Structure 1
Amino acid sequence: MSASDHAPRTPGSGPPRLRPYTVNGGRTRPRLELERTTLVKARRTAQHPPQGAAERSAAFGWCRTQTLTITEIAWRLRLPVQSVKVLVADLITEEVLMTVAARQEDPKDPDVLERVLAGLHAL
């Protein structure tokens, strides 16, 4: 198996070469309860990419520059959300990533409604 078999895939790069559970050593349940919409980012103290599968390093790299949801990371890795929950839970346990509280917005705020409408139009 070549190194490219372990590299995160880019959109449109074809079917996965490894089954998703191989990324997590066969585990299917995360160590922490995480939702699809859980926001994560890299800890400031985490300076180096985590060891292991390339997906771990990729998730860390993206979360160093922005806050992402579990679903966004899954989309970028082209892996099932459940597999990414396991991966992210491991990185949180290892103190590489951390969760971020979502900002609560007033659903009646005109600015919020305009952003929702703009998002719907973009679909």
Structure 2
Amino acid sequence: MTGNPWLRPYVLTGGRTRTRRNLYMHTLVSAPDYDPAYASRLLPEARRLYERAHASAESVAELSAHCGVSLGVTRVLLGDLASAGRVLIHPETYDSPYDPRLLKEVIHGLRELA
């Protein structure tokens, strides 16, 4: 991409940095009722997120990484897709990203990797 690196994300989100929904990095998202015709009308970044969410339920962070879209833009685009009824935001297992249960699971997972 040439030019201002901030311009493309700004255009993708219409200048928005927040969404009406709480989309934490660990929030699971899926697209159980995938519509190829709808997908074909989306911007490439939103289409990649929508298609990936259809393949399997993934966290916001995973969708962001796999689709090459920044986390902030991912949250806004997923919020738009959810508002349009195209993706399902799964209920939170944890109250916040700082929930002690989540942090214990992260620590346990890191120890398993070591």
**Equivalence for 2:35:** 47
SS at match of 2:89: strand
Which amino acid in structure 1 is aligned with residue 47 of structure 2?
S
**Equivalence for 1:36:** 25
Counterparts of 1:118 and 1:34, CA distance in 2: 22
Counterparts of 1:117 and 1:24, CA distance in 2: 36
Q: Deviations over 1:68-104 (max 9, x none)?
A: 1111111123232121110100000011100123668
1:31–1:90 Cα contact (<8 Å) kept: no
**Unaligned residue ranges in structure 2 (runs of 5+):** 95-100
**Equivalence for 1:78:** 68
2:45–2:69 Cα contact (<8 Å) kept: no
Per the normalisation by structure 2, the TM-score is 0.68
Per the normalisation by structure 1, the TM-score is 0.64
**Alpha-carbon distance change, 67 to 57 in structure 1, aligned in 2, over 3 angstroms:** same
**Equivalence for 2:51:** 61
Q: Give identity over the alignment, percent.
A: 22
Runs of 4+ in 1 over 6 A off after TM superposition: none
User: Number of paired residues?
Assistant: 101
**Equivalence for 1:93:** 83
The alignment's C-alpha RMSD in Å is 3.0
**Alpha-carbon distance change, 30 to 118 in structure 1, aligned in 2, over 3 angstroms:** closer
Q: What is the Cα deviation at residue 118 of structure 1?
A: 6.4
Larger radius of gyration: 1
**Unaligned residue ranges in structure 1 (runs of 5+):** 6-15, 108-112
SS at match of 1:40: strand
**Alpha-carbon distance change, 118 to 82 in structure 1, aligned in 2, over 3 angstroms:** closer
Which amino acid in structure 2 is aligned with residue 72 of structure 1?
E
